Amino acid sequence: MSRKYVIAGNWKMNKTPEEGRELASEIASIISKDASVDVVVCPSFVALDRVSQAIEGSAMKLGAQNLYPKTNGAYTGEASPEMLRAVFAKYVILGHSERREYFGESDAFVNEKVKFALENLISPILCIGETLEQREANETLEVVKTQLLGGLEDVESQSMGNVVIAYEPVWAIGAGKTATPEMAQEVHASIRALLTEKYGEAIAEKVRILYGGSMKPANADSLLSQTDIDGGLIGGASLDSKSFCDLIQSARAAS
Ligand code: PEP
C-alpha cells in the first residue's frame, strides 16, 4: 500500500510573521510545485496569514498549531476553525505533548477538537506518545492506545481519510534523542493494528502515521524506510530551510 508521505513543520512559538514569511518563501522556492510529498508548515497564529500569502501558488500547505472547538464567542485567546480556514489552513496539530503537559489538555478535550476540526474541513494531526517514565515502565503501547482511541472516539470511518496521526515519544521531542527506527516501527505497527481493529484494514492502510521526535536529515532515511512510518512531524529541524528541505528530499526518495 503506498501512502503519500507528509513532512510537517511544527514551528511552535518561533518566528515572527516576517521571519515566517522569509522561511516559508525559501522552502516554497526550493520545493516549487513538486507535490509528490505533502509539505505542511505550522506557524503560530499571528504568522499564519503572512505565511499563507508566501506559499500561495506553491505545493506547500498551511497548518495551525491549535484550534478551539467552538464557532465563535467569548473564548479569550483562542482561534476557531473558521478563522483558520479564512487564512487557508488545511491542517491543525492537536494533542501535542506540550499542550497536554503545559495546558492540561485531556484526551476528551483533544477528541472534541479532532471532531470539530473534521466537521469544519480541517485535517487534524493527532499527536500521541509516551513519556520516558511510561516507556521505562513498559507502558508505551497502553498509553498510545488510550490516547489514540480517546482522541478518535466517535470519529466515523468516512472521516479517517482526513486524519493524520503523529507518534511522538515525549522523551525524544527537542531532546536530540530519537527512537531507533525499530522502536518507532513497533509503535507505528501497533497504531495501525488498532486502527484496523476499529475501522477495518482498507481504512487503516490509508491513514498516514508520522514519526516526531528529533527527526533530522541524519536520521530521516532510516526512519522513513520503515513500513508504517509515513512521514515526520518536525520541530527544531523545521526552523531551517535547508534541514527541512533535506527532510522533504528524504521523503521523496523513500516514496
Ligand atoms: C515536535 O515537537 O513536534 C517535535 C517533533 O519536535 P523536535 O523535532 O524538535 O523534537
> What average pLDDT does this structure show over 186-192?
98
Share of the chain above pLDDT 90, in %: 95
Task: Calculate how far, in angstroms, residue 86's C-alpha sits from the geometric centre of ligand 1.
Answer: 27
> What average pLDDT does this structure show over 144-159?
98
> What average pLDDT does this structure show over 235-242?
98
Confidence of residue 20 (pLDDT cuts 50, 70, 90): very high
Cβ–Cβ < 8 Å for 92, 124: yes
> What local confidence, expressed as pLDDT, does residue 1 receive?
59
Length of the chain: 255
Per-chain mean pLDDT for the chain? 97
Cβ–Cβ < 8 Å for 94, 126: yes
Instruction: Kindly tell me if the per-residue pLDDT of 81 is higher than 80.
Output: yes
Ligand 1 in reach of 173 Cβ (< 6 A): yes
Alpha carbon nearest to ligand 1 atom 4, residue: 235
Per-residue pLDDT tens over the stretch 32-60: 888 999 999 999 999 999 999 999 999 99
Cβ–Cβ < 8 Å for 234, 212: yes
Atom of ligand 1 nearest to the CA of 236: 9
Residue 223: alpha-carbon gap to chain centroid? 16
CA distance 140 to 43: 29
Instruction: CATH number for 6-254: choose from 3.40.228.10, 3.20.20.70, 3.40.1190.20, 1.10.10.10.
Output: 3.20.20.70
Ligand 1 test: best mutation among 167, 168, 211, most atoms within 8 Å of CB? 168
* Joined grid coordinates for residue 67: 484550534
CA distance 251 to 7: 8
Locate the domains of the chain by residue range.
6-254
Task: Calculate how far, in angstroms, residue 174's C-alpha sits from the geometric centre of ligand 1.
Answer: 5
Question: Does this model's pTM top 0.85?
Answer: yes
Per-residue pLDDT tens over the stretch 85-136: 999 999 999 999 999 999 999 999 999 999 999 999 999 999 999 999 999 9
* 168 or 31, greater pLDDT: 168
Share of the chain above pLDDT 70, in %: 100
Confidence of residue 199 (pLDDT cuts 50, 70, 90): very high
Confidence of residue 69 (pLDDT cuts 50, 70, 90): very high
